[in-house]
Amino acid sequence: MSPSKRAQLAVFMTVFVDLLGFGILIPILPIYAKAITEHPSYWMSWVNHTLHLQTPGAFWAGTAFVSFSLMQFLATPVLGRLSDLVGRRPVLWISLMGSVVGYLILATTGKFEWVLAARVLDGITGGNISVAQAAMADTSKPEERSKTLGMIGAAFGLGFVLGPFLGGVLSHSAYGQALLATHGVQLPFLVAAGFSLLASILVLTWLPETLPPEARKHARVAEKRGHVLVQALKRQGMPKVLGIVLLTMTGFAMMEGTYSLMAAQRFSLTQSQVGYLFGFIGILIVIYQGGLVRVVAKRLPERLALALGLLLMAVSLPIMAYAPWMWPFVLLMIPLAWGSGMSNTATSALASRLTPADEQGGLFGVISAVQGIGRILGPAIGTFLFARGGYATSYWVAGGTVAAGLLLAVTLPRKSQDAE
């Protein structure tokens, strides 16, 4: 294997492990956090009483999710800038070791305060996607850059599909049950730590420094997020597009943050069963992104595909709270996942048409930043509403949030002129 291919594989594994660990956490962390907050500390009891929480465990589970997303959102540009100054390799290695420590804390603690500390640490060190993308670009020729950067997307998809399945299998396994009963150790988090450690070893042994010393020495000051955002907002139609991105991600993240809690409450599902459900969602996303997206792109204009995707999401979300038995509940994930895929793809395409070719990178950075805000707001609002008024309230608000995005979508101009 050539050094460049080996380096790209190391970067691919870094991103894959990040998403694999996140996928393992999605179905397990809310139930885990809720369970260990059944006997809250004094300050948590005060918060529960002050906010009049009916289901406080849901609120604290959301806090664990939001703390990670907030720290990751704040750390991503810092780690990217740091990698320009000291190189990609050390930043990637440090970020992976931070994940190792965070997962080990989660695997062994029984206190929510330590869960929160682990999520904050993992969020700070886990904002390494921009560094991974830069390393991929460093190791590829200009004519191959799109292809190599596509590996990042493949790593996302694989991690999101395999992570929930693996989390469910590990938590339900005989060894996992025995380890928890005898030592109080969560096997899924322990395995996630092992994967991160493996990837850190690959970075040390396979990944050479991809940024030349002269580039590090003369690293330019990166543009701040706010500057790029202002430039994007000046383009006609872009404020509405970014508003749709924010509303859609916020509504979808409300579902992500409360789905396992609702499934456990309504159908008494275990961690492993919820993990299988999230794996099913991942498969649906891969099916759409891997094949159906081409069919939709050929037959539907982007504006119509966006509206149809948002409509499917807005209708599916509140109905999920009233599905009378398990199978309708599961099958509703099909229009929800495919509607999300349609809207995300169409939104990116419309935004790209409004932006000049030499500003595409900044554009997708803005979209990622806005999505990051949605990933913070969604679980925070969804779990708070779950704790105050029950799961139905969360899903009605999630559907209404996406519906607000649909209203913005139908006001977009019928024909968008490509930016020069």
How many angstroms separate the CA atoms of 273 and 55, rounded?
A: 22
| 247 has a pLDDT exceeding 90 | yes
Q: Residue 129 in contact with residue 18, Cβ under 8 Å? A: yes
Nearest to 65 by CA among 385, 380, 394, 393: 380
Compare 190 and 12 and report the one with higher pLDDT: 190
Most distant CA atoms of the chain, gap in Å: 65
Q: Residue 49 in contact with residue 72, Cβ under 8 Å? A: no
How many angstroms separate the CA atoms of 181 and 187, rounded?
A: 11
Give the tokens for residue 219.
């690293």
User: What confidence score (pLDDT) does residue 414 get?
Assistant: 67
Same fold, 1-214 and 223-420: yes
Residues 266-289: tens digit of each pLDDT: 888 776 777 777 778 777 776 776
Architecture of domain 223-420: Up-down Bundle (1.20)
| 391 has a pLDDT exceeding 90 | no
| Whole-Å CA distances, 415 to 78, 307, 350, 411 | 38, 14, 10, 11
Return the CATH fold of 1-214: Growth Hormone; Chain: A; (1.20.1250)
**Which segments of 109-237 does DSSP mark as H helices, in order?**
112-125, 129-138, 145-172, 174-183, 187-206, 213-217, 225-233
In this structure, how many other beta carbons lie within 10 angstroms of the beta carbon of residue 8? 22
Residues 92-127: tens digit of each pLDDT: 888 889 989 999 999 998 888 999 999 999 888 876
Radius of gyration (C-alpha) of the chain in whole angstroms: 21
How many angstroms separate the CA atoms of 286 and 160, rounded?
A: 9
| Whole-Å CA distances, 39 to 56, 257, 313 | 11, 22, 36
| 23 has a pLDDT exceeding 80 | no
| Whole-Å CA distances, 370 to 123, 317, 365 | 17, 21, 9
How confident is residue 83, by pLDDT bands cut at 50, 70 and 90?
confident
| 132 has a pLDDT exceeding 80 | no
User: What confidence score (pLDDT) does residue 225 get?
Assistant: 42
Q: Where are the domains of the chain?
A: 1-214, 223-420
Tell me, what amino acid is at 324?
P
DSSP classification of residue 173:
S
How confident is residue 143, by pLDDT bands cut at 50, 70 and 90?
low
User: Which of 359-363's residues contact partners 24+ apart within 8 Å by CB, and which partners?
Assistant: 359/231, 362/223, 362/228, 362/231, 362/232, 363/232
The mean pLDDT of the chain is: 79
How many angstroms separate the CA atoms of 66 and 126, rounded?
A: 14
pTM: 0.68
How many angstroms separate the CA atoms of 156 and 163, rounded?
A: 10
How many angstroms separate the CA atoms of 60 and 380, rounded?
A: 9
Question: Is the four-CA dihedral 285, 287, 290, 295 of positive or negative sign?
Answer: negative
In this structure, how many other beta carbons lie within 10 angstroms of the beta carbon of residue 150? 11
Q: Residue 79 in contact with residue 95, Cβ under 8 Å? A: yes
Please state which of the ranges 187-191, 200-204, 316-320 shows the lowest mean pLDDT: 200-204
